[in-house]
Structure 1
Amino acid sequence: MDLRSPMAAVASDLLRYRARHDGGYWNTTGAARFVLVSELAPLMRADGCQTFAHGCVGGGNDQRRFARYGAQVAPGLSVIEPWTNPQALERFPDREAMLAAVAEHGLRLDPGSSAERSTDANLAGISHESAELEDLETPVTRLRPRWSNWPGQGPAEPETVTVTFLDGRVADVNGSGPDPVAWMTLANEIGARHGVWLRDVVERRIIGTVCRGIYEAPGLELLERAWSRILQASLDAAGRELYDRLAAVLGAAMYEARWLEPAAQAARDGIDRLVGEVGGSVTLSVHRGLVQVERMKVASAVVQQTRFGSGGNRWS
């Protein structure tokens, strides 16, 4: 099934609510699990299915995400978790055995994945994991980006990007129009071309461990620069402080698969009140990993200091 539209809609939510996790990276993997279950499980149940299965490692983040969202979205479906089954563990004791089975049966392997490496990609971003990258002493330059250039590989000349916001959401990126699939795709292309993408973090996981992860989200990284400037110019100090607190709640909620729970709904309602009428446009200059704000217009009413513009002897 083509789930680009719902994935783009959730990416729009990630940006609106700045729902990021440890180290400020975007929750694109957690968001994808929400989209998969919320879009597919009801159709499976309507088609007469009684169970759904996933291949996530037993006890990991994704196992809990599928279990939580499955219980909320399609409580009538039981969940099969192969990696809690002793027979499955005996048949596939390691990733080498899994890779051999994939090759033997002619199954499609996600680009960039192997027995030693794993990528997880969707319209909003890509996560990179490997035995090598789990070592905190491994330089990030050992990574092979899937979409993006490194900053030094970008074009020699900067590129100008204008992002327009309406009612607290992206309405256009360089003429893309308001369709989230269109502006997310274009923002990804621009950010990837200019090396705007990298988050190298040590994250605290649901299961209580810490793990290094490297994340490629060029579109969201680019758009966040514009959205942050709009917020800074549109919200007063108390509103911005509350926004940031609620955004932290939502970052954790997306990571921990609690996006549908009351606390997350209340946090979204709060931010919706704050940014529901926020709008404007921001023009960015993008060049080799650097994003600079060139100019902006704000649609909402703001009180701007004009001390120097009024002669330097009074405030307005």
Structure 2
Amino acid sequence: MSQATPNTIKKVVLAYSGGLDTSAIIPWLLENYNCEVIAFVADVGQGDEELVGIEDKAIKSGATACYVVDLKDKFVNELIAPAMQAGCIYEKQYLLGTALARPVIAEAQVKLALELGADAVCHGCTGKGNDQVRFESTFAALAPQLKVIAPWREWTMRSRQDLLNYLAERNIKTSASATKIYSRDANLWHISHEGGELENPWEQPTDGVWTLSNSPQQAPDQQEIVELEFIEGILTQVNGQTLNQTEALIKLNSIGAEHGVGRIDIVENRLVGMKSRGCYETPGGVIWYQGLRGIEELVHDRACQRLRHDLGQRLSDVLYDGQWFTPVREALLAAVHSLATKLTGTVRIALYKGNVTVIGRSSPLSLYSEAFATFEEDEVYQQKDAAGFIRLFSLASRIRALKQGGLA
């Protein structure tokens, strides 16, 4: 994989969203690279509002064709589901909504480029963000022969207003405006918000930031109970209804958004070295994540729980850093799937004004035994046996105190 230069490219496939950046990229490519531009749109559940009319929009901007590829099931089954089996969460809050979508989008872009005989791929990621690394690492892993065009690292435009002026000069229509101050990324898993007042970490997000969920104050005054069933870490039922994982996520998003679930406000550490402040809404994801944690408490002993958490942290970094198509990801997922074979059971979760609380869990593979844990009389545990255990467990401390004299 290498960077493209003008007059060396005949056909390029652009990851196109129809937003301000990629709307400007199409005419910019035509003017600066004099090549055919194919628009590629990944449908990862961002919603009809962003997809309706997008093919026509791309063509009017100068693309010779626009391909909209439905990736929703692939996104859920191949990225979201294993990430939840692992318990992936970045910096204790972020459920990786943007990072999770990038491998499936970039992979499909590469496949289309190869099918169409393109010699380059293009993305609209800025030179400050994580996404440029995620896209280009995927390009390198899957098709290193393709050249890469990253306009934000080449053109002289530096602001939203610059892009608006550029399009206006060419009579290219856009729904973007100078008053739309937030940068958002939406998919079936989440929606992210950056920009505006969020660039000052002291400022509280205004109501205009949030678009998917109710605030806790707006949420219903009565809690709602959701029951989830998992088989080997795969979400199979919501409230007794058998659903595929995509259907289940859509249902959980609706339920969670109503109750103000899944909002976070985080200052995170970007891969490129800077900190950024963003607000994320992941209502269904938080319910899914907590549901598996509830099952885990029953079926894994302490060592397995800690291993799962360690694997989740490692896999979170792999996802965040754009290293999905690597041997380390394959190795991590092999361990994740091994532990997930025990994640079978049913969990009940209470939703109330932004809170998600596991209130019941059961599993045929449960390690919990009321006979052992009860405070009432039992016949399976001899409490006097604990004395020998404690004596051996504290032996090192005992020897150290005898050698050093303790507090005497």
1:5 aligned onto 2:70: no
What's the counterpart of residue 135 of structure 2?
Answer: 66
Q: How does 1:69-108 map to 2 (within 5 A)?
A: 69-85=138-154, 88-89=155-156, 92-101=157-166, 104-108=171-175
> 8 Å contact 1:45–1:76 — kept in the other structure?
no
- Alignment partners' CA distance in 2, 1:233 and 1:301: 5
| CA apart distance, 1:170 | 0.8
Percent of aligned positions that are identical: 29
Structure 2 residue aligned with 1:41, among 107, 110, 123? Answer: 110
- Give SS of 1:284's match: strand
Structure 1 residue aligned with 2:198, among 120, 133, 145? Answer: 133
How many pairs align? 310
Tell me the alpha carbon deviations over residues 98-132 of structure 1, each in whole angstroms, 9 at most, x when there is no partner: 245567522355xx996521110100111110142
Taking a change above 3 Å as real, the CA distance of residues 205 and 308 of structure 1, as seen in their structure-2 partners, is: closer
- Alignment partners' CA distance in 1, 2:179 and 2:140: 32
1:265 aligned onto 2:333: no
What's the counterpart of residue 17 of structure 1?
Answer: 86
| CA apart distance, 1:136 | 1.2
- Give SS of 1:306's match: helix
- Alignment partners' CA distance in 2, 1:241 and 1:308: 21
> 8 Å contact 1:99–1:114 — kept in the other structure?
no
- Give SS of 1:189's match: helix
| CA apart distance, 1:306 | 2.9
| CA apart distance, 1:193 | 0.7
- Alignment partners' CA distance in 2, 1:99 and 1:179: 42
Q: Residue type matched to 2:267 in 1?
A: V
| CA apart distance, 1:52 | 1.1
- Alignment partners' CA distance in 2, 1:8 and 1:182: 10
What's the counterpart of residue 279 of structure 1?
Answer: 344
1:52 aligned onto 2:124: no
> 8 Å contact 1:278–1:299 — kept in the other structure?
no
- Alignment partners' CA distance in 2, 1:99 and 1:113: 8
What's the counterpart of residue 4 of structure 2?
Answer: none
- Alignment partners' CA distance in 1, 2:368 and 2:241: 31
| CA apart distance, 1:256 | 0.2
- Alignment partners' CA distance in 2, 1:53 and 1:64: 13
| CA apart distance, 1:291 | 2.0
Q: How does 1:181-200 map to 2 (within 5 A)?
A: 181-200=246-265
- Alignment partners' CA distance in 1, 2:281 and 2:311: 24
TM-score (norm 2): 0.71
- Alignment partners' CA distance in 2, 1:223 and 1:268: 19
Q: Residue type matched to 1:217 in 2?
A: T
Taking a change above 3 Å as real, the CA distance of residues 113 and 94 of structure 1, as seen in their structure-2 partners, is: closer
1:295 aligned onto 2:360: yes
> 8 Å contact 2:161–2:178 — kept in the other structure?
no
> 8 Å contact 1:23–1:203 — kept in the other structure?
no
- Greater CA drift, 168-177 or 43-52: 168-177
* CA root-mean-square deviation: 2.2
What's the counterpart of residue 162 of structure 1?
Answer: 227
| CA apart distance, 1:307 | 4.7
- Alignment partners' CA distance in 2, 1:281 and 1:137: 41
- Greater CA drift, 68-77 or 201-210: 68-77
- Alignment partners' CA distance in 1, 2:277 and 2:312: 22
- Alignment partners' CA distance in 2, 1:125 and 1:177: 23
Structure 1 residue aligned with 2:299, among 224, 227, 234? Answer: 234
> 8 Å contact 2:371–2:378 — kept in the other structure?
no
Q: Residue type matched to 1:144 in 2?
A: V
Unmatched 5+ residue regions in structure 1? none
- Alignment partners' CA distance in 2, 1:131 and 1:296: 42
- Alignment partners' CA distance in 2, 1:307 and 1:44: 61
- Greater CA drift, 38-47 or 170-179: 170-179
Q: Residue type matched to 2:148 in 1?
A: V
- Alignment partners' CA distance in 1, 2:137 and 2:370: 49
| CA apart distance, 1:210 | 1.3
Taking a change above 3 Å as real, the CA distance of residues 180 and 235 of structure 1, as seen in their structure-2 partners, is: same
1:251 aligned onto 2:316: yes
What's the counterpart of residue 120 of structure 1?
Answer: 185
- Alignment partners' CA distance in 2, 1:230 and 1:20: 17
| CA apart distance, 1:18 | 1.7
- Alignment partners' CA distance in 2, 1:13 and 1:266: 13
Tell me the alpha carbon deviations over residues 77-102 of structure 1, each in whole angstroms, 9 at most, x when there is no partner: 211100111xx22xx23112224556
Structure with max Cα Rg = 2
- Give SS of 1:282's match: strand
| CA apart distance, 1:264 | 2.0
Taking a change above 3 Å as real, the CA distance of residues 303 and 176 of structure 1, as seen in their structure-2 partners, is: closer
> 8 Å contact 1:155–1:288 — kept in the other structure?
yes
- Alignment partners' CA distance in 2, 1:166 and 1:46: 37
- Alignment partners' CA distance in 2, 1:71 and 1:135: 35
Q: Residue type matched to 1:81 in 2?
A: A
> Highest relative contact order (Cα 8 Å, sep 6+), 1 or 2?
1
- Greater CA drift, 213-222 or 92-101: 92-101
